[in-house]
Every structure is written in structure tokens, then in C-alpha cells.
Amino acid sequence: GADVINDITGLGDPAMMTVAARTQAPVVVMHMQGTPRIMQQKPSYREVVAEVIAWLEGVCGRAIEAGIARHQLIIDPGIGFGKTTQHNLELLHRLRDFRCLGYPVLVGTSRKSVIGDVLHLPVGERVEGTAATVALAVYEGADIIRVHDVKEMRRVIDMTQAIQESTRRWERGADVG
């Protein structure tokens, strides 16, 4: 009865691949270095974006081999899951790079520690930081945004998309005034 499978383990359990193939539900494949208990203990990458892309590509390939349809797959770079603040900022800055895989991209930054680290704010005071990351994610090509403050972030998304559309019209030489 699930509408979407959101697997933070990145289909690490083979039984999850079987369930996803059988149900034909969309599957969010999220990157995470380590496990929830240890993921924030010294996360390390040589090149975070390239490594996360390669990992997602490998998992999606195995998922397709296991019978999950390509159109079911959604990728999530896993902001906050086994990454430092700098890793998270680089992933957001280079989010467009994930488009090379050809899957819809999901981003979940809502109230995350990266926002708290940058702005020095507790969880309950991170709405503006979340808004900034949501606007950037939409601008950089994210297809799906996962948030807590739905009404406010819907407005941020609408405004970002309006700016993008205005820019497209301007670039085509259309009158935007």
C-alpha cells in the first residue's frame, strides 16, 4: 500500500530490492556513508560529488538488474548522512552534476545540521536557512524537495521557479516587462 519507498540505506538490504520490484512503487535511493550510528564520526571523501554519484550509479544499476524499473528510481545525495558541513555545501553547490545519471533528484535539507552549523542556530530556528537551501536546490535542478515547513517552502519554490521562467523568457528574447 505504500506510494513511495524511501530507503535511507540505499537498497542495502536485498529484500528491499525484491519488495520494490514487486510493488513497482517509486524508490528513493539515498546515499549514506556508514550507518546512522556512526555516519557522522569523521566522514571522509576524496571527491564527495564524484564518489556519491558513482555510488548512486552503482546502486541504481544493481536495482535495475534486480528487476526495479528505471522509471521507479529517484536519487538523493543524502544531505546530512555521513557528510561534514563542507561536504553538504559542496553537494548543494554541485547538485546539477547529479543530472548526469538521468534520474529524478530528491533533496532533503529541511532543518538539517548543515544549516545549524553555518548559521549557529538550533533546529527550531532554521526556516530561513532551509529556504535558502530549497531555493538553491530548485535552481540547481532538484525535482523533489523534502521539507517540514510545507507552506513556506512551497512559496520559496514558486518564487524560485518564477525567477527561472522569467530568465528563460529573457534568454529567448521575449519581453519580460
pLDDT by position in tens, the chain (length 177): 789 999 889 999 999 999 999 999 999 999 998 766 776 788 889 999 999 999 999 999 999 999 999 999 999 999 999 999 999 999 999 999 999 999 999 999 999 999 999 999 999 999 999 999 999 999 999 999 999 999 999 999 999 999 999 988 888 886 655
The number of angstroms, rounded, from the C-alpha of 162 to the middle of its chain's C-alpha atoms is 21
Active-site residue, selected from the candidate residues 83, 111, 112, 126:
112
Which cell is 177 given?
516587462
Q: 151 catalytic, yes or no?
A: no
Partner residues linked to 29 by β-bridges: 7, 75
Side chain identity, residue 37: R
Q: 146 catalytic, yes or no?
A: yes
Torsion angle (degrees, nearest 10) of CA 2, 154, 171, 96: -50
Active-site residue, selected from the candidate residues 62, 94, 99, 146:
146
The number of angstroms, rounded, from the C-alpha of 147 to the middle of its chain's C-alpha atoms is 11
Q: What is the pTM of this model?
A: 0.91
